[in-house]
Structure 1
Amino acid sequence: MSLQMYWYPKCGTCRKAKKFLEEHGVDFKEQNIVDEPPSQEELTRLIQKSGLPVKKFFNTCGKKYRELGLSRKLKELDEQEQLKLLASDGMLMKRPIVTDGDKVTVGFKEEEFKEKWLS
């Protein structure tokens, strides 16, 4: 099983996730979420597979999120507008996003990674 990991190399959480996968011998491909953000179509698939709402894919702690005042603005946008905004800038995305094409994790929680990617 080869995973796709959308990550940002300077992100500490992403580095922890990468280290976890490497230490457990999990095969994965990296895609820099800033240089090559997933398209709106790919994000739509990831969100559908994850079962999470679009809002869970936003990096609410990020500088860009705060600069754009998205804590208020997101409430006014419909799902398609949120997706378009999310796809426009990888720094707006919560990371890492990991998928095997069927399952999806957003962020890094060791227990969730053990459950999803080691079983």
Structure 2
Amino acid sequence: MTVTIYHNPACGTSRNTLGLIRNAGIEPAVIEYLKTPPDRATLTGLIKDAGLSVRDAIRQKGTPYLELGLDKTDVGDDELIGAMLAHPILINRPFVVTPVGVRLCRPSEVVLDILDAPQQGPFSKEDGEVVIDEKGNRING
């Protein structure tokens, strides 16, 4: 299975998502999107394929969102995409692409919906929350 994660190693949700992918025995293509941002077509495709609006895919916390005036209702999708391309920190993360689909994996266990391989053992998030039990079964999902 080919899996790609648009990853920010400084983000706990992104690290947990990557951990769940690897717990399924998959070594994904890891794109550190802050170092290698997607182009316009890729970004708009990720958002569309994930079934999101552009506003749903933009990150506000810890970004120049307010400083750039992106909170104003008259800012359209094209301008939002342009801002995300100019300031990749505005791209919410992590996006994951698999043959099953594309998702913005917030929370990280959303990735389980698009992995076509079972979890191979227990998995806990960095905060200690158990997501996968010792038999590889999803908890609360």
**TM-score computed with the length of structure 2 as normaliser:** 0.73
What residue number does 1:97 align with? 95
Change (3 A) 1:114 1:101: closer
What residue number does 1:17 align with? 17
**TM-score computed with the length of structure 1 as normaliser:** 0.85
Distance in structure 1 (CA, Å) of the matches to 2:108 and 2:40: 28
Identity of aligned residues (%): 26
Moved more, 100-109 or 15-24: 100-109
Distance in structure 1 (CA, Å) of the matches to 2:22 and 2:38: 23
Please give the root-mean-square deviation of Cα atoms over the aligned residues, in Å.
Answer: 1.9
> Which is helix-richer, 1 or 2?
1
Task: Give secondary structure in 1 for the equivalent of 2:103.
Answer: strand
Task: Give secondary structure in 2 for the equivalent of 1:6.
Answer: strand
Task: Give secondary structure in 2 for the equivalent of 1:64.
Answer: coil
Which one has the largest radius of gyration?
2
Change (3 A) 1:90 1:102: farther
Task: Give secondary structure in 1 for the equivalent of 2:3.
Answer: strand
What residue number does 2:84 align with? 86
Distance in structure 1 (CA, Å) of the matches to 2:57 and 2:33: 12
Change (3 A) 1:86 1:63: closer
What residue number does 1:40 align with? 40
Aligned 8 A contact 1:57 1:93 in 2: yes
Task: Quote how far apart the aligned CAs of 1:27 are.
Answer: 3.2
Structure 2 gaps of 5+ residues are: 118-141
Q: Deviations over 1:27-64 (max 9, x none)?
A: 31001111111111111111221111011111122233
Task: Give secondary structure in 1 for the equivalent of 2:59.
Answer: coil
Change (3 A) 1:39 1:102: farther
Task: Quote how far apart the aligned CAs of 1:94 are.
Answer: 0.7
Structure 1 gaps of 5+ residues are: none
User: What is the aligned length?
Assistant: 117
Aligned 8 A contact 2:54 2:81 in 1: yes
What residue number does 1:29 align with? 29
Task: Give secondary structure in 1 for the equivalent of 2:64.
Answer: helix
What residue number does 2:137 align with? none
Task: Give secondary structure in 2 for the equivalent of 1:37.
Answer: coil
Moved more, 100-109 or 33-42: 100-109
